[in-house]
Chain A
Amino acid sequence: MYSKISTCVLQGLSGHIVEVETDLSRGMPVFNIVGLADTAIKESKERVRSAIKNSGYGFPLNRITINLAPAHLRKEGSQMDLAIALGILISSGMVDYDQEDTVFLGELSLDGKLNPIEGALPMVLSLRDFKIKRCIVPYDNREECSVIDDMEIIPLRTLREVVDYLKGKIIIEPYKGMGEDSKEKKEYELDFSDIRGQDSLKRALEVAAAGGHNALILGPPGSGKTMAIRRLPTILPDLSLEESIEVTKIYSIAGLLKSKGLIKERPFRSPHHTISAVSLIGGGRNPKPGEVSLAHNGVLFLDELAEFDRRALDSLRQPMEDGQVNISRIYGTYTFPSKFMLVAALNPCPCGYYGDPYHDCSCSPRDIDRYLNKISQPLLDRMDIHMEVLPVKYQDLSRVRKGESSLEIKKRVSMARQIQLNRFKDEGIYTNAQIPNKLIPKYCSLSSSSERIMDQAFKKYKFSARTYHKILKVARTIADLEGKESIMDHHILEAIGYRSLRVKYWG
């Protein structure tokens, strides 16, 4: 009267196999679950009892002991319902089952239906690494799981179906996904050609997108900062399959997978400035990924940067540096990836009109200082591209030629990214923005004339060594946009134009 079947739990993004052992013995009818289970699992007793009964099977009147092994691992989530219910059915002899290569995932509702679970994709991905061949998943999770082709994904709707499937009463073909059909082109409502004027700003965003550079856009209200940045996703290169899986995994455990299939567009996250450090970075008692991880492989847009909590902003530094977040809790340390491109917009002062001759700035110098000082030096240093914008006047708007469409820009950006991928394939980095300092001489070497320009600029603008490196990286990206092997003078000159505004505003 003993049975053992497998299911899975997640810790952060990595899944672990859990054996559900069920023993039925004679005695008072009690139902115990042991093995470090959290509330959702303790509650599964009631779901399992009703689901079994309402599926037309009898709930055994025995002493039922369920052990979740390994016992030291903390278990959470409702995906174990199915395995627990099946364990009981097998132990009581209602189903015959003795294979070990199948894993059961699914939450039960009281009528025996299989509800979708959070984190199905990362579980299935980890199970593949454990050489599991077959996985039973709720029907609604089938699309995200079908990404994997060397594992049988059996989508089922009810407990009854699962039992029938195991008995061989019905035959279900492994789900292969909708395949290429789901890859249709994403249509954006926004387009770069909507923006009249602001050529410099558009160009700066193009360069930022091409090299994955963090960008800081500073300007008074109404200058089109937000409008332009909202169009950034339309020029970002498509996700590669690997990147796509990484992103989908994160969205899966965050329970944000709406489309059910793989995520094909680069994430664009723009949290409101009242966000706390924890929701930005990730955390909670059972740690969930924060905005930095949800923006992984995409863009994190912080509008009104100086309105954010200073603590929240400073907490960005480590994830930006490491490309991942480590969250430690009593029950373990969780790691979420966080390779994102930070794009920030801010006003020059709280009222927005500092330095504008036509509007009275109502801020005191102290207010302005306090406002700008929210953004710490280390954070500023991590922004490769700095750009100042002014509002375009209406008269000027009407005569400016229409700009390029997003599609044209995206072509150049994608090409530049491809060049970078090829160049860095042995370095473990993807973009120019990620070039570590020690590799800068290797990839960003200058001709003697460019060297001279840098020298002159160094004297004229008195920039720091860090700024020097940033200019080289940005120049590398500009050269890539042109498809040029080596960095030329005009690349350097353009890159110098994106240099830090630190001295000007943070003095």
Chain B
Amino acid sequence: MDISAREVLIWLNTLGLSNSTILKLLDYFYDLREILEISGENFLKIPNLKRENLERILNSRSKINVSGFLEDNMKKGIKIITCLDEEYPEALRQIYNRPAVLYYKGDFLDFEPAIAIVGSRKATAYGKWACEKFTKELVELGVTIISGLALGIDSIAHRTALDNGGRTIAILGNGIDIRYPKKNAKLYDEICEAGAIVSEFPPGTQPLSYNFPQRNRIISGLALAVIVVEAKERSGSLITAHHALEQGKDVFALPGNINSIYSKGTNKLIKDGAFPLLDIEDLLEVVGDFRERNQSHKMDEFDYSTLSDIERKIVELVKEGPTHSDMIAYRTGLDIITVNSMLTILEMKGIIKELTSRTYTIC
């Protein structure tokens, strides 16, 4: 038979068997190709194999057409890598329930060092700001940003990485040929160009809610550490953090106000032992400094002496914490017209940043 074990593995994946079932079969057979010839009787001897899975394999065994499937994907620009391949990422080989087959678009294999950034689908202005800040700093260090292409924090992380010329990898919970969520279709295309889209599910798999939690193990598996930016009390991001801990990765959580619902989950992570992420240096201390590898990074301290008196007054005030423009006007005694134009110029200079409606913070 002119079929390789790798092709059999891919075939099993397309049948819709769960990853753990495939890994079980991979362990049981010395050569996976035996699966095509083994009699039904002997099949039954395999421990813990569900009858429906068995039937699925037996029924489609005769119709096997892996080369056609591979050709189809090749045409669509979808590449496939399996755990039997040598190029299979070492980082994933180590994790529990490693994905047997991965479909990807773009340039996936060269991704290290990588950090995962995840968070809730709805983000507050604070979460958005922090996510942008840390993503930018990591990208400048040459780090690949890994996330899940969901709305909210995930999208912000991908988007910021792209905008700063960085590499980013999105791990999907659906077939790689489906751009989900629809709103991120453009982001999807851009990530294909400047990074990779990866999925363990065969093309055509619909975005089903129960598939999403398990892709989180790949997100944390690829990364050296996981940053959780914002999470409500019960959030999918906490699953990623959980996987990370199981895989022996470090988890960093962004501390938030204790009365903010979007920081309940992250604050709890910190309480349970995750590192609070106050500064990017915190992360570098724990997971190792990438600076030697990427000399490009150099933080410029802004030279405040070039600012006018009024500008400095405003900057000093904003340094105390996020402040609304009306409050700035009130506390500096300046009129709102001057304050608003100063805020615009300071933002354009990159010294301050609008958090949300006219509330400004230091960059």
| A200-B326, A453-B348, A497-B340 as given contacts; A357 in contact with B124, CB under 8 Å | yes
Question: Is B125 within 8 A of A490, CB to CB?
Answer: no
Complex formed: what's the CA distance from A355 to B259 in Å?
Answer: 14
Q: Does B179 contact A (CB under 8 A)?
A: no
Question: Is B348 within 8 A of A203, CB to CB?
Answer: no
| A355-B125, A392-B326, A507-B183 as given contacts; A460 in contact with B357, CB under 8 Å | no
Q: When the two chains form the complex, which single residue of B326, B345, B356 contacts A453, counting CB atoms closer than 8 Å?
A: B345
Question: Is B330 within 8 A of A401, CB to CB?
Answer: yes
Q: Does A194 contact B (CB under 8 A)?
A: no
Chain B facing A: main interface SS = helix
Q: Does B273 contact A (CB under 8 A)?
A: no
Give the shortest distance, in Å, between A204 (CB) and chain B (any CB). Answer: 9
Question: Is B260 within 8 A of A357, CB to CB?
Answer: yes
From 120 to 146 in chain B, residues with beta carbon under 8 angstroms from any chain A beta carbon are 121-126
Question: Is A356 within 8 A of B329, CB to CB?
Answer: no
Question: Is B345 within 8 A of A493, CB to CB?
Answer: yes
Q: Does B151 contact A (CB under 8 A)?
A: yes
Question: Is A496 within 8 A of B344, CB to CB?
Answer: yes
Closest chain A residue to B125 by CB distance?
A: A355
Question: Is B326 within 8 A of A219, CB to CB?
Answer: no
| A199-B329, A360-B261 as given contacts; A494 in contact with B122, CB under 8 Å | no
Question: Is A494 within 8 A of B151, CB to CB?
Answer: no
Give the shortest distance, in Å, between B296 (CB) and chain A (any CB). Answer: 21
Q: Does A280 contact B (CB under 8 A)?
A: no
Q: Does A427 contact B (CB under 8 A)?
A: no
Q: Does A389 contact B (CB under 8 A)?
A: yes
From 323 to 339 in chain B, residues with beta carbon under 8 angstroms from any chain A beta carbon are 324-327, 329-330, 336-338
What per-residue 1/0 map shows which CB atoms of B137-176 lie under 8 Å from chain A? 0000000000000011000000000000000000000000
Q: When the two chains form the complex, which single residue of B152, B324, B337 contacts A203, counting CB atoms closer than 8 Å?
A: B337
| A358-B259, A365-B151 as given contacts; A460 in contact with B348, CB under 8 Å | yes
Closest chain A residue to B358 by CB distance?
A: A200
Q: When the two chains form the complex, which single residue of A199, A358, A396, A493 contacts B260, counting CB atoms closer than 8 Å?
A: A358
From 311 to 363 in chain B, residues with beta carbon under 8 angstroms from any chain A beta carbon are 324-327, 329-330, 336-338, 340-345, 347-348, 350, 356-359
Question: Is A497 within 8 A of B183, CB to CB?
Answer: no
Question: Is A388 within 8 A of B357, CB to CB?
Answer: yes
Q: Give every chain B residue within 8 A of A392 (Cβ-Cβ).
A: 326
Q: Does A40 contact B (CB under 8 A)?
A: no
| A357-B262, A389-B357, A453-B348 as given contacts; A200 in contact with B183, CB under 8 Å | no
Q: Does A92 contact B (CB under 8 A)?
A: no
Q: Does A457 contact B (CB under 8 A)?
A: yes
Give the shortest distance, in Å, between A234 (CB) and chain B (any CB). Answer: 19
Q: Give every chain B residue within 8 A of A507 (Cβ-Cβ).
A: 183
| A365-B122, A388-B358, A390-B358 as given contacts; A493 in contact with B326, CB under 8 Å | no
Complex formed: what's the CA distance from A356 to B359 in Å?
Answer: 13
Give the size category of A's interface with B. Answer: 35 or more
Q: Does A354 contact B (CB under 8 A)?
A: yes
Give the shortest distance, in Å, between B3 (CB) and chain A (any CB). Answer: 44
Complex formed: what's the CA distance from A453 to B122 in Å?
Answer: 34
Complex formed: what's the CA distance from A355 to B126 in Å?
Answer: 9
Q: Does B213 contact A (CB under 8 A)?
A: no
Complex formed: what's the CA distance from A456 to B356 in Å?
Answer: 21
Q: Give every chain A residue within 8 A of B345 (Cβ-Cβ).
A: 453, 493
Q: When the two chains form the complex, which single residue of A198, A489, A497 contacts B326, counting CB atoms closer than 8 Å?
A: A198
Q: Give every chain A residue within 8 A of B121 (Cβ-Cβ).
A: 365
Question: Is A357 within 8 A of B126, CB to CB?
Answer: yes
Q: Does A197 contact B (CB under 8 A)?
A: yes
Q: Does A361 contact B (CB under 8 A)?
A: yes
Q: Does B181 contact A (CB under 8 A)?
A: yes
| A390-B359, A457-B348, A493-B345 as given contacts; A354 in contact with B326, CB under 8 Å | no
Closest chain A residue to B124 by CB distance?
A: A357
Q: Does B42 contact A (CB under 8 A)?
A: no
Give the shortest distance, in Å, between A181 (CB) and chain B (any CB). Answer: 39
Q: Does A400 contact B (CB under 8 A)?
A: yes
What per-residue 1/0 map shows which CB atoms of A349-365 lie under 8 Å from chain B? 00000111111110001
Q: Give every chain A residue within 8 A of B256 (Cβ-Cβ).
A: 357
Q: Give every chain A residue within 8 A of B326 (Cβ-Cβ).
A: 197-200, 392, 400
Q: Does A369 contact B (CB under 8 A)?
A: yes
Complex formed: what's the CA distance from A360 to B353 in Å?
Answer: 25
Q: Give every chain A residue within 8 A of B359 (Cβ-Cβ).
A: 390
| A199-B329, A493-B344, A494-B337 as given contacts; A361 in contact with B122, CB under 8 Å | yes
Give the shortest distance, in Å, between B340 (CB) and chain A (any CB). Answer: 5
Q: Give every chain B residue within 8 A of A389 (Cβ-Cβ).
A: 357-358
Closest chain B residue to A218 by CB distance?
A: B357
Question: Is B356 within 8 A of A400, CB to CB?
Answer: no
Q: Give every chain A residue within 8 A of B324 (Cβ-Cβ).
A: 390
| A365-B121, A365-B181, A390-B324 as given contacts; A355 in contact with B356, CB under 8 Å | yes
Closest chain A residue to B330 by CB distance?
A: A400
Q: When the two chains form the complex, which single residue of A361, A369, A390, A399 contacts B356, counting CB atoms closer than 8 Å?
A: A390
Complex formed: what's the CA distance from A507 to B262 in Å?
Answer: 22
Give the shortest distance, in Å, between A416 (CB) and chain B (any CB). Answer: 14
Question: Is A494 within 8 A of B260, CB to CB?
Answer: no
Q: Give every chain B residue within 8 A of A355 (Cβ-Cβ).
A: 122-125, 356
Complex formed: what's the CA distance from A389 to B358 in Å?
Answer: 7
| A390-B357, A456-B348, A493-B341 as given contacts; A199 in contact with B336, CB under 8 Å | yes
Closest chain A residue to B333 by CB distance?
A: A401
Question: Is B122 within 8 A of A388, CB to CB?
Answer: no
Q: Does B257 contact A (CB under 8 A)?
A: yes
Question: Is B356 within 8 A of A200, CB to CB?
Answer: no
Q: Give every chain A residue within 8 A of B123 (Cβ-Cβ).
A: 355
Q: Give every chain B residue within 8 A of A456 (Cβ-Cβ).
A: 348
Name the residue among A198, A200, A218, A356 with the largest chain B CB count within 10 angstroms: A200
26 interchain pairs, CB-CB under 8 A: A197-B330, A202-B336, A355-B123, A357-B126, A357-B257, A357-B261, A357-B262, A358-B261, A365-B152, A365-B181, A388-B356, A389-B357, A389-B358, A390-B324, A390-B357, A396-B327, A400-B330, A456-B348, A457-B348, A460-B348, A490-B338, A493-B345, A494-B341, A494-B344, A497-B341, A497-B343
Beyond A357-B262, A493-B342, 15 additional contacts (C-beta under 8 Å) are: A199-B326, A199-B329, A200-B336, A355-B124, A357-B260, A358-B261, A389-B357, A389-B358, A400-B330, A453-B345, A460-B347, A460-B350, A493-B340, A497-B340, A497-B341
Task: Give B residues with C-beta under 8 Å from A.
Answer: 121-126, 151-152, 181, 183, 256-257, 259-263, 324-327, 329-330, 336-338, 340-345, 347-348, 350, 356-359
Task: Give A residues with C-beta under 8 Å from B.
Answer: 197-200, 202-203, 218-219, 354-361, 365, 369, 388-390, 392, 396, 399-401, 453, 456-457, 460, 489-491, 493-494, 496-497, 507
